[in-house]
Amino acid sequence: MTAAADLAAHLRRISALERVAGWLNWDQETQMPPRGGAQRGEEAAAVAAALHALMADPRLAELCDAVEAADPGPRMAVDVAEARRIHHRATRIDGDLAAALARTTAEAQTAWAAAKDAARFADFAPALDRVLALKRAEARALAGDVGEAYDALLDDHEPGLTAEAATALFAALRPGLVDLRGRLEGAPAGPRASGRFAAAAQLALSRRIGAALGYDWDAGRLDQAAHPFCNGRLGDVRITTRIDEAEPFYNIYATIHEIGHALYEQGLDPEAALTPAGAASSMGVHESQSRLFENQIGRSRAFTEWLHAEMRAAFGDFGLATPDELYRAANAVETGFIRTEADEVHYNLHVMLRFDLERGLIAGDLAVADLEAAWNDRFAADFGVTPPDAARGVLQDVHWSVGAFGYFPTYTLGNVYAAELDVALRADLPGLDADLARGDVGGALEWLRARIHRRGRMAAPARLIAEATGRAPDPATLVAALDAKYGALYGLA
């Protein structure tokens, strides 16, 4: 075999083991019995140790040298660059640390779910302390003596992103969001859905929505989880949702959000399967797909035309007589406690809170013992209310239990990217709203397939968005879009 073939085979083994680790996590969140946490921790640790050994293998660096010397083409060059990145990171982390992280986060995930059900942060705090100690060690090992340790964790989700850049992004967004929120205060409450929405009917509606959006049910499935997520790639991409029989929008928009992720994974280039070049560009780009489908498409006036008829078929009279009423209800602005249910005006303020708190946790400026109080104080300062319990406060997100420190800023990056993609989509597809009103997303999906999905990692995230839209992403585009949308909805001057 050639060096290029050997490198490709090595990288496919790494990717396949990453998928195995992902399925262990999927099973834990959807199917695993309650007493399986400790055993799952050992299973996850074993996979992590094998994965680390492949990534840290000196032969990986040797293969990269050999392939580079042979002048690789563009796709193989991306594979080499990613191989060097993961090898560098793996050699800075001890294999025992990698296994301990996998074991501890699997156990912490079980502890988090139980603590959230009981709404008691104290039940989760010891597990979080153990996770945090390991993540601090990982961040220090990766960062070395250069830069902030938290930057190394950001890089795991959004290569090249730094805390300084994330801070600048939030600073650019916050004044406009706070101003818009202030102008919306006191606005009359809009219409709301009413009645009981049976779980079976909600799940059936989710399947119809998925089919309309282009989700391939032969390459995926839908389950329920405490925190909705998407897992998988190409021929096996699974989504989860959550059901509240008093509030159908939780399921509808969680489903649409996760379908946005799933469409990206199902739309990757199959010829580059299990290679770095064929993977999603970054989590910021990934979130741009989920947020675009959830908000710019799923909450558009055009799409609610189709959705209203589907909800009538699923639930009968559900309290919203017209598509206009559904549109207003789906875009209601209110101060809520839950990030995943937040409207577009408040959503990024939720992300900013988490960014500041987790950055303090990694730096050692904030202790786990003080986290709940810090969360409540910051929430009161930003939103004017205090969470009534830990389940609607510090325990609401799964991310810290699974060690995903540095992930939250990618949600806001995704919102910024989605706003740019929406502008370009509408410029290129002038009939988009007419299509959406019929539940036809085919044109938009084809546009995204060509410009985002099929390209994988062939361009860095911001460059990928710029090449898709014709301009560099700018936070001002998102602020202007929200100002126009909610100004029209609420009659603001």
Give the pairing of strands 236-241 and 230-233: antiparallel
**389, 394, 400, 405 alpha-carbon torsion, rounded to 10°:** 170
Q: How many helices (H) and strands (E) in the chain?
A: 20, 3
Which helix (H) or strand (E) is 7 found in, with range? helix 3-30
d(CA 395, CA 335): 18
Q: Taking the alpha carbons of 410, 265, 309, 488 in that order, is the dihedral positive or negative?
A: positive
Coil, helix or strand at residue 239: strand
Amino acid at 252: I
CB 482 within 8 A of CB 425: no
Side-by-side strand order, sheet with 230-233 = 222-224, 236-241, 230-233
The C-alpha atoms of residue 328 and residue 303 are separated, in whole angstroms, by: 12
Q: Is the dihedral of CA 469, 475, 480, 481 positive or negative?
A: positive
- CA-to-CA separations, 383 to 209, 219, 353, 375, in angstroms, rounded: 33, 41, 11, 12
DSSP per position, 368-391 = GGGHHHHHHHHHHHHHSS--SSGG
What pairs with residue 236 in β-bridges?
Answer: 233
Q: Is 389 exposed, middle or buried (0-12, 13-18, 19+ CB in 10 A)?
A: middle
Q: Which residues are catalytic?
A: 258
Q: Which amino acid is residue 232, in one-letter code?
A: G
CA distance 142 to 362: 13
